[in-house]
Structure 1
Amino acid sequence: MVDYVSDPALTQFLDLLLDVVCVVDSDGHFQYVSAACESVFGFTQEEMVGKTVQDLVHPDDREYTLNRARQVMAGTDSTQFENRYLRKDGEVVHIMWSARWSEEGQVRIGVARDITRRKQAELVQSALFRISQAAHRERDLGILLDQIHDIVAKLVPARGFYLGLWDYRDGRWNYPFSRDRENAGAAQAEGVEPLCEQVRIKGQTLLSGPGALTTGDTDISGSRSCYWLGAPLTSEQGVIGALVVRSDSPAAGFSEEHQQLLEFVADQVTVAISQQRLLARLEQRAQYDALTGLPNRALLDDRLQKAISVAERESGMLALLFVDMDDFKRVNDTLGHAAGDCLLQLTAQRLLASVRASDTVARLGGDEFIIVLEGLAATDHAQVLVDKIQGAFALPFELDHKPLLSPVSIGMALYPDDGTTPESLLRHADKRMYAAKETAAAQRTTPSDQEQPPGSDATQ
């Protein structure tokens, strides 16, 4: 075998190169490596010589590397061939090779260039693009965070990944998303909430070593082996949450690049959450009555149609109640619109308290309400509820610290007896509501009594 590097002057020259020059025999053993091997692979020249290529190649790249080695040994020069090696400290290093086979010496001569930083930059750029794309495309926060976690996990040495959201109304943290390789109750992992709280208070990204924050003396984990990195989710309203990652590896820690990546991810998550909350508010305005919080006409139509479809499919029965407040105009005229609005809100609450959670109570407009009762076993059940509502409204409201009676008239329509469409059911219920109102008016007290201010009859 020809010794290609026996000349001391040549080896001194090769040792000046930033790239690693390698000589590998036909069995894959390193015969020579230049001095740069220690900065690239973590091994000294003495440690590497005698080892095989397969000893150091990343397990996932061994078969591919072996095939390329066979091609080189067959006489095909290889340039810009990339694979991964494992450094002495266990870290992955990306290598670009140029190699050729020496038939005379029966060795492969290769030059290895460390392209780890370039590959890392490419991965980060790709990750940033995919994260940004996902944040603007995916409306479901859980699915979005799953996608982000899968991307970030390949770039950040983290064993735990947590999203904490601060509830300003309740003054507490909740954790809609967490992934932890070791802790089943990841959201309760020791150290998550203390760091989230510090991030919220300081409004900045915080990096911690074992036991304490690097920006102060606050102990966040109670542990001497955990490394934490937390980035704030900052919106126009302030810090609304924190994105936190955890590492248990003393050798890993978190670099400045990891911090920048997490800050970018936090910004994208903030955008996604803000968009989600905006859409929720818009949907709320589009489907719910602003004053009472009840479903409006649009949402009522949708629910009623779905209820009819279910009843038709299951050969079931449903009831529609048309509820109208008898003296609402008089309350508005004598007590003012603010009192009228308050009475509408109290009426909505009383109607909700009278029905099942599965029933729909909607505000049709003005002082008119609709109740949809699904899954009725018999007509009598609907009448029982009508009587219950009438009984509830026989009791006075407390309005401006004064008792006020506000009776209602109710018209009922049944599916399928009175109709099989939303329009026909509403028409029948409306007609019967007016009939009930006329009956109630005929049973009222004398005209002199009617002229009394609203609520005065509640005390008689």
Structure 2
Amino acid sequence: MSPVRKRQMMLSMDAPADEADQLSQVLLESRRRWRDFGALAADIAFEVDADGLLSFIAPDEVLGMSADSLLGQRAASIFFPQENGYPDPFLLNLGIRQRRSWINGADRQKVCLSLSSAPILDDSGHCVGARAVASDVTVREHKEIRAAAALRRSDVMDHILDQMRQEVQAPQIMGSMLATCIRALGGHGAAVLNLSDAAEIETVLHDAGEPSMGLLAELLPLLRASNRSTPFQLTLSDGMSVLACRSSTRFGLLSALIVWRPTRERPWDKDDQVLLGSVTTLVRVVLEHETIQRELARQARTDPLTGLLNRRAFLDEAQRRIDRLEREGLPGTLMFVDLDRLKPLNDQLGHEAGDAALVLTSTVLRNMVRPADLVARLGGDEFALWLDGFDGLTAAERAEHLRLTFPRDAAEFALPGQQGLTMSIGIACRQPGDGEELDDIIQRADLAMYEVKRNGGNHWRVSNPERTA
């Protein structure tokens, strides 16, 4: 064979090898280019093969693990661990776009990744792998979560404040507030509880949703024993999970706002606690508003010196008593009481002594009647009593008792050389079915009392519709 021919054959044999080397270099350069672009555009870049296994991943350390240790592992198990059992998202022809997933990062800290992928298709259009990138959006996700939580709290608070502007009475305001709280927190019920020992205040101040009474036996001791001022969780023996927050009003009322639901439902999270704490602030405001309303109502109905009913409250309640007694076919009796010689006491010892005598009189009258009877100070030294079910004879017995005992009770107010304080009492009994109005009963009792007064006082007189005795 000639040297020329031999040279031609050698060149023809070397050509495929050179082309293969060149192709290998191009592929390697493409892979490097893909790796660099992926690293610049995202925190993680990787490829998966037709079985969904990692065939390439960058950078050298991913999620606290070396890239080499991840090669050959199923990508979906690493990046979408919560979707085990579902179709591999990296082997779908459509790919994925900015799909977020929470995974365990280095030191098992939760990391949120935003993943996008593009399928690798063969000549027939079947998916034989995928290229993907992932960006760490944990900080952004937390900001979005906080922003969403703040927006939810703002919506809830705006709704509650709007209801507070529309309503006037505290019970209606609180009812709307608790209903909103139940909806916002996914609770089954909510209540505001009194944690103080005041017997005159009910334990359940307000509630909404499912009844709360079954929770109280176990829950109240736990709430009273706690000294926490921030929201906290309690799990009861009946399987109920309770989120609670204690508060104290300016007037000393210790209370707790509670929301409950079964433990089988999702646990309370931090946002739930923050929201309950915000609502508790408004609950405290409403409780204070309610206390003020109660005090204003009490002041509008009571005499500030003695604490007895005032004239208006007495007349309103006496009319209701008359209506009820008429339906029940029972009598009722009105007693007018006027102190004798209070003016000389005021003139000589001052109004402080006169006020003390009025307070003593109120105590004596309250102690003489039953808790359900009415006792009022009508003004000055005039008092009134309404006695349910009493006839004239029984009322006269009480009046005689006062005539005999009150001078001894008020002996400290007797002026030197003068007769002490006594009472002039007028009595008017109303029988069922006679149709007598309250104004007529008042007029009869008042006339009877002044008749005693004109005759020197320290006595009583019974009046009836026919005559004044």
- Fold match, TM over 0.5? yes
1:410-429 correspondence to structure 2 within 5 Å: 410-416=426-432, 420-429=436-445
1:167-316 correspondence to structure 2 within 5 Å: 184-189=217-222, 192-195=224-227, 233=248, 235=250, 241=254, 261=275, 263-316=277-330
Residue 119 in 1 paired to residue 166 in 2? no
Q: Report the counterpart of residue 46 of structure 1 in structure 2.
A: 77
Residue 391 in 1 paired to residue 423 in 2? no
Q: Report the counterpart of residue 425 of structure 2 in structure 1.
A: 409
Q: Report the counterpart of residue 370 of structure 1 in structure 2.
A: 384
Matched-pair contact (CA < 8 Å) for 2:244–2:258: yes
Shift of the 50–307 alpha-carbon distance from structure 1 to 2, 3 Å rule, reads closer
Question: Offset at 1:274?
Answer: 1.9
Matched-pair contact (CA < 8 Å) for 1:163–1:243: yes
How far apart in 2 are the matches of 1:294 and 1:259? 45
Matched-pair contact (CA < 8 Å) for 1:292–1:348: yes
Matched-pair contact (CA < 8 Å) for 2:422–2:458: no
How far apart in 1 are the matches of 2:374 and 2:459? 30
Shift of the 87–121 alpha-carbon distance from structure 1 to 2, 3 Å rule, reads farther
How far apart in 1 are the matches of 2:267 and 2:45? 25
Matched-pair contact (CA < 8 Å) for 1:412–1:429: yes
The one-letter amino acid of 1:267's match is: T
How far apart in 2 are the matches of 1:397 and 1:361? 21
1:71-150 correspondence to structure 2 within 5 Å: 116-134=145-163, 137=167, 139-140=170-171, 143=175, 146-147=178-179, 150=182
Shift of the 312–323 alpha-carbon distance from structure 1 to 2, 3 Å rule, reads same
SS at match of 1:394: helix
How far apart in 1 are the matches of 2:249 and 2:459? 62
How far apart in 2 are the matches of 1:229 and 1:442? 61
Shift of the 260–431 alpha-carbon distance from structure 1 to 2, 3 Å rule, reads same
How far apart in 1 are the matches of 2:443 and 2:328? 24
The one-letter amino acid of 2:161's match is: S
How far apart in 1 are the matches of 2:253 and 2:157? 22
Q: Report the counterpart of residue 216 of structure 1 in structure 2.
A: none
Q: Which runs of 5+ in 1 are unaligned?
A: 1-6, 24-29, 57-72, 197-204, 211-225, 445-460
Q: Alignment RMSD, CA only?
A: 6.1
Residue 433 in 1 paired to residue 449 in 2? yes
The one-letter amino acid of 2:385's match is: I
Question: Offset at 1:407?
Answer: 2.6
Matched-pair contact (CA < 8 Å) for 2:244–2:257: yes
* Structure 1 or 2: more helix by fraction: 2
Question: Offset at 1:116?
Answer: 3.5
Matched-pair contact (CA < 8 Å) for 1:411–1:434: no
Question: Offset at 1:360?
Answer: 1.0
Q: Which runs of 5+ in 2 are unaligned?
A: 1-30, 64-73, 105-110, 235-240, 415-419, 461-469
Question: Offset at 1:294?
Answer: 1.0
Q: TM-score, normalised by structure 2?
A: 0.56
SS at match of 1:331: helix
How far apart in 2 are the matches of 1:294 and 1:386? 22
How far apart in 2 are the matches of 1:386 and 1:130? 60
Matched-pair contact (CA < 8 Å) for 1:31–1:49: no
SS at match of 1:185: helix
Matched-pair contact (CA < 8 Å) for 1:135–1:271: no
How far apart in 1 are the matches of 2:76 and 2:40? 10
How far apart in 2 are the matches of 1:314 and 1:19? 86
Question: Offset at 1:95?
Answer: 12
Question: Offset at 1:124?
Answer: 1.5
Q: Which has the larger radius of gyration?
A: 2
Residue 13 in 1 paired to residue 38 in 2? yes
Question: Offset at 1:127?
Answer: 2.1
The more displaced of 97-106 and 429-438 is 97-106
How far apart in 2 are the matches of 1:17 and 1:305? 83
Question: Offset at 1:314?
Answer: 3.2
Matched-pair contact (CA < 8 Å) for 1:233–1:270: yes
Question: Offset at 1:121?
Answer: 2.4
The one-letter amino acid of 1:373's match is: L
SS at match of 1:325: strand
Q: TM-score, normalised by structure 1?
A: 0.57
Matched-pair contact (CA < 8 Å) for 2:377–2:384: yes
Shift of the 145–209 alpha-carbon distance from structure 1 to 2, 3 Å rule, reads closer
Percent sequence identity over matched residues? 22
Shift of the 263–440 alpha-carbon distance from structure 1 to 2, 3 Å rule, reads same
The one-letter amino acid of 2:152's match is: L
1:149-160 correspondence to structure 2 within 5 Å: 150=182, 153-154=185-186
Shift of the 142–281 alpha-carbon distance from structure 1 to 2, 3 Å rule, reads same
Question: Offset at 1:304?
Answer: 1.8
Q: Report the counterpart of residue 329 of structure 1 in structure 2.
A: 343
Q: Report the counterpart of residue 67 of structure 2 in structure 1.
A: none
How far apart in 2 are the matches of 1:394 and 1:102? 111
Shift of the 386–102 alpha-carbon distance from structure 1 to 2, 3 Å rule, reads farther
Q: Report the counterpart of residue 317 of structure 1 in structure 2.
A: 331
Shift of the 96–347 alpha-carbon distance from structure 1 to 2, 3 Å rule, reads farther
How far apart in 2 are the matches of 1:442 and 1:184? 55
Question: Offset at 1:285?
Answer: 1.7
Residues 423-451 of structure 1 show CA distances to partners (whole Å, capped at 9, x for unaligned) of 1111121122223334454999xxxxxxx
